[in-house]
Each structure stands twice: as structure tokens, then as C-alpha cells.
Structure 1
Amino acid sequence: MAVTIKDVAKLANVAPSTVSRVIANNPRISEKTKQKVREAMEQLGYHPNFIARSLANQSTQVIGLVLPGSASAFSQNPFFPTVLRGLSEGAQEKQYALQMSTGQSEEEIYEGVVQMVQGGRVDGIILLYSKVEDKVMNYLKNRDFPFVVVGKPYKYCEEITHVDNDNYRATKEVTDYLLELKHECIGFIGGDLNLVVTVERLLGYEKSLRDAGIDMKDEYIIHEEFLREGGREAIKELMQLEAPPTALVVADDLMALGVLNTLDEMGIRVPEDISIVSFNNVLLAEMSRPPLTSVDINIYNLGNEAAKSLIQKIENPKEPIKRIIVPHHLVTRCTCGERKGKS
């Protein structure tokens, strides 16, 4: 015979309604009572019927995740598994599940979101990107559907809850760091210019050079995909210049790995011949040869805070709009050195 809530209540010596509130993680129930009920559930092998709960509450207990591109690109970049771990643990605390939506084109991604929303498949959505122009964000805002953005919205910034780093400040700081190492010819390898993170980091780079009185060279700025191949293509182009840069700000560790591999093939030494600062500080930054100097943007926290913020919005539609800035810090390793011949 199947174990019921009444069986759990009897063993824990509480009312059945208390068991229901513990399953729903009601904040009014004390931690001591929650622990007692959960121990009874475990002892009896009781598993809540979430489908029945969802029907009763008119809730799916599911959060939709929208990726910026195809599943293959998602699987290649270590940023996404790390942010997904933060999202998963943040959702799990409140017993929400995650459902991912991807597509090969912007139209496929948009249609996937429409199906999730209009099909009642999710209670809210997290966008794992922010674009300058984005039909998905406009659609969600116009429908007043609960959503949170990982990144800074390009429009309606004060009207949309989002979790982000201060990418402008971070990039200004790392460019300043390279200037302190006597580099003046500093290149920038960024991602898609339709991504707000690329725009913010480019502006920070430009501000640092402008404050130092250094003219920005258009040929030193290249935009590619956030993949290893993107880094390979960018550095090939930069090294063909008559006066190549002596230092680089690279917007992503995976791109930077492509840069390092290509420089090694070309016989160009890092940091003796060229210095490199990257972003994200994923595991491959530490394992690359030489180990990458990289900005730790606390990827896990970005995901965890996004999940918690969305669940707050779902459970309380009057929850105020929030802008959560996750701190960053530079992790110095072995890819930066002082420019030779500079006093």
C-alpha cells in the first residue's frame, strides 16, 4: 500500500497540513519541525506527488531556461555548466525543476519560449543572456510573465530584475592592469556585439585607454563567437598586423584557450612576447599552458541568485524589481608580464 501524508503525519506526530507545508517549504514552519517531518518521510520512503500538487496550486514548479544559441555551443563553453549548477541548486532549495529551451536560430528560440509560456509548462523563465535586440525579452515583458535576466538588459533596465557583474568596471580594471605593466598596444577580443556583455566590456576597455591618453585602434578590436575557434581566428588576424598588440583583453576563457594554442603554434611566447587577460576563471584557465590570468565573475553565484530571484517573483508577484551585482576579482597567474623596453 502506498505511503500517504497521513502516515507521515502520524509518525512525526504532527497534523497532515503541517506535512503539506513542509513539502511546500513554508517559511512559517520551524526548522526543527521540518527536520522531524523530513526524517519521517525518509523513514517511510514517502515521495511527494508533485504533479498533484501542481494541479492543486495551479503551478508547474518548473523554471524555463533560455540559452543564447544551440545546445552544441552550450556544451562547449564551461560557463554554462557552472551557471547551470548554481541555477539547479537555487531551484532545488524551493523544489523547482528546470526545463531548458534551445534553438539553432533566434526564431526557433523565440518559438520555444512562446510554447513554454502559452502551454503553461513553466511558472517563470530565466534568460541566460542579454541582447541589444531581443524578441524574447520584449515578449515576456509585454505579457508580464515572471522572468529574470542573467546579464544587464539593454532596455528597460530599471523595470527588469537581473543578475550581473559590473562588466564595464571589470574590463576597465584589467585594461588598467595591463597599462601598469607598461603595455600601450592593447588589443580586445570580444564576442557578438549584439550581446550586452560584449558592449559593456568594450566600453570599459575604451574608457581605460582614453583615461591613459592612448588612441584606440580599430584594427585591435575583433569580435568572434565565444568558442575556442573564435579565439584562433581573432589572434591570427591580429598577428598579421604590421604592429601587432603586445597585450590582449579576451572576453572569455574558452576564446583565450584558442588564442594560447594558436600563439604556441606560431612560436609566440606568453607572456614574454604578448600578455593575456581573460574572463570567467573556469577550470581550463587554471589548467591551460601557461595558466591564464582571468577575471573570476563568480558564475555559480550568477545562476544561484537568478533562480532565487525568479522564485521570489513567482511566489510574490509584488516582489520589487532588483538589480543584483555579483562581485568579481582578478586571479593573476602566468599570462601577463611587463612590456620589455619600458621603464
Structure 2
Amino acid sequence: MTTIKDIAKHADVSTATVSRVLNNDKHLSVSVETKKKILDICDEFGYVPLKKRRPQIEEGAKTKEIGIIMYCSQEYEWEDVYFLSIRKGIENECRNKNVLVKRIIHLGDQSSKEINDLDGVIVVGIPNPEEEKMLDETLGDNIVYVNNLVENDQVDNIIIDYEKATNKALDHLLELGHTRIGYIGGREHRGRSGPEMANPRKEAFEAKMNSHQLLNNNYIYLADEFLIKDGYDCIQHAIKNKEMPSAFFVASDAMAIGAIRALDEQGLHVPDDISIVSFNDISMAEYTKPALSTIKIYTEEMGKHAVKLLLDRFDGRRIPVKVVTPSKLIVRESTKKIR
């Protein structure tokens, strides 16, 4: 759960300043811009002061207590807010439904002891098979998986149609006349140290480009993760290898931000020299220079829907549900018709 310390770190102010702004301290001497920055960060990350949470927790009869298991680190959440946005949706809906988020566990570092006192959990990301088995044995049906299609077909899933979403991005580039299209992405693993698994965006990219007889493996660049530095490093490799397409499909907005920086350092400009379409539509995407053309994934809604599915389970539903999240192409400034 986001804390005052997190807000202070992101706003580059002290925790005392954050606390006084949130308490509307009239004797606090800070600029209007600083106050707005703090409040905007609180809103973006779904921070609610404890005194506003307590009435919801204390009202009513039996408050359900759930856990959120995040298969990413807290540092990863702050750099690529895709996962943070899902968690924000979960926490906001829990407040609305009088559900207490008792425990947030990062990197899947959970044990049966940590979760057996919970009514249910929402798992964001991909556990390894052993972790998945432990969750199933401890909580039964009271689990909702987000962004992961697990082996157990008796639990609820909220997934993304990566093939359809990727095709929207590639169709956009093809319509602009691009035929030399590259891919930049990270590697997926099951759990913290599990085996590498197929990445659905990369698979969809390869299938689509193959169908047009345009696939060039020399234009595919992979990094360990999906963060800004990974996108930057991929472009560095592309420049070193002298294998540069006219456009890239980039698997995350964070990677795209790093890629644009690396291209700019080499005197290559987006979109005049190279077009980029990315994935997620995080809050920063429309404020980058150029603003990112990207595939919007409704991450906050995914989190809200996960809570609703879990509450349905508490009410006795036993039929498993799989929800496929829609996506939408957002065209901004980073793509352009090829010259």
C-alpha cells in the first residue's frame, strides 16, 4: 500500500511536508506548484490518509480481509506504473466495498502462513507452479489472478488479449507504410526465479509479421525486463549492430521512453526518422516528447474487476470466470507515415 514516505520520495520533499499538505496546514510555506505536485502524486497512486480509511474499515459487521500478491518489486512498480495502476484499482475498489487490504506482498515472497488468515487474495503477475499450487491448497477458489492465465481452470482470471492488442499496433504501422518493423521487449519468467516463458507480445508480433512475410529476426531486441534502461540498451544494441528498421513496436511505455532517449542521443528523431508504438498507455505516455502512440490497457479497471470477482466468490459463486480485458490504439506523436 502506498505510504507517505513513497509520496515524499516521488515528490522530492520531506514526509513532514506531505503530511502538512494533506492536513491543509495553513502555516506551511510551500509553493502552489509543490502542493499541486504532492496532491497529483497522491491521486495517481491512489493514496488515502489513514484517518479516511478507518471509518470504512470499522463500519459494518464482518470486514473481509484480503491480500495482494505482486510479482514485481516496489522499485519496479514506481518506474513502470503498469502494475501500480492495477494495484490502485484494487485498493480503490476495496475502499468502496468495505474490504480491508490486510497484506501486500511483493515479488511473490509469500508463504502459507502469511496468507492462511486471509479471506482471499488477488495475484498480479505470474507465479511459478509451486507457488500456484500452494495458493490453491491454502485458499481454494478464493483467488483471482490478474494478467496471468494459470493452470488451474477452477479459479478466476483477468487477462489481456495480447494478440489482438499487438495486431492493432502493427496494423497502425503497416497502414502508415512501414514494412521494416522491429520489436523491443523484455523476458517473462514464472515467479521470481522460475523458467523463462514465452512472451505473448513477441509471439503475436512474430505471427503478424510472418503473415505479411515481413518478419526480420535481426530487428528483434530483447532485454531482461521492461523498464526505461532496458529500452535504452536495446536501441544501443540496434545501433551497434547497424540493424535499424523504420519503426519499432515496443512492449512497454517505459521501454519506449528509454528507446526514444537513446535514439535522440544518436541524432535520430521520433517520428521523423523512426516511428515507435508502445504498450500500456501509462500516465506519462501523453507527456513524453514526443507523446507516445500506444496500446491502452485498462489496468485500473482490471484491478477493480478483480475485487468484484473475489467478492462474488465470497458470496458463494463457484463457477470460474475468465475476463478478457479490451485494448485501444491511442495515436499521438511518435508514429508517422513513412517518407
Q: 1:171 aligns with which of 163, 166, 187?
A: 166
Quote the Cα distance in structure 1 between the aligned partners of 2:318 and 2:313.
Answer: 5
Contact 2:277 2:292 in 1 (8 A): yes
Q: Number of matched residues? A: 279
Q: How does 1:1-343 map to 2 (within 5 A)?
A: 50=58, 53-54=61-62, 61-98=64-101, 99-103=103-107, 109-110=108-109, 112-118=110-116, 120=117, 122-130=118-126, 133-143=128-138, 144=140, 146-156=142-152, 158-194=153-189, 199-217=199-217, 220-316=220-316, 318-340=317-339
Quote the Cα distance in structure 2 between the aligned partners of 1:138 and 1:130.
Answer: 12
Deviation of 1:47 after TM superposition, in Å, equals 5.1
Task: Pick the structure with more strand per residue.
Answer: 2
Query: Is the partner of 1:137 in helix, strand or coil?
Result: helix
Contact 1:67 1:74 in 2 (8 A): no
Relative distance call for 1:290 and 1:219 in structure 2 (3 A) is: closer
Deviation of 1:205 after TM superposition, in Å, equals 0.7
Deviation of 1:218 after TM superposition, in Å, equals 5.2
| TM-score scaled by length of structure 1 | 0.74
Deviates more, 1:269-278 or 1:197-206: 197-206
Contact 2:141 2:313 in 1 (8 A): no
**Aligned residue identity for 2:238:** L
Deviation of 1:49 after TM superposition, in Å, equals 7.6
Relative distance call for 1:136 and 1:256 in structure 2 (3 A) is: same
Q: C-alpha offsets along residues 128-183 of structure 1, whole Å, 9 cap, x if unaligned?
A: 1135x443222212342511111131433x33311122112111221122122222
| TM-score scaled by length of structure 2 | 0.75
Quote the Cα distance in structure 1 between the aligned partners of 2:158 and 2:215.
Answer: 33
| Structure 1: runs of 5+ lacking an equivalent | 1-45, 55-59, 104-108
**RMSD between superposed Cα atoms in Å:** 2.5
Contact 2:184 2:231 in 1 (8 A): yes
Deviation of 1:314 after TM superposition, in Å, equals 2.4
Q: Give the fraction of aligned pairs with identical amino acids, expressed as a percent.
A: 24
Deviation of 1:239 after TM superposition, in Å, equals 2.0
Contact 2:186 2:225 in 1 (8 A): yes
- Greater C-alpha radius of gyration: 1
Relative distance call for 1:166 and 1:52 in structure 2 (3 A) is: closer
Contact 2:142 2:155 in 1 (8 A): no
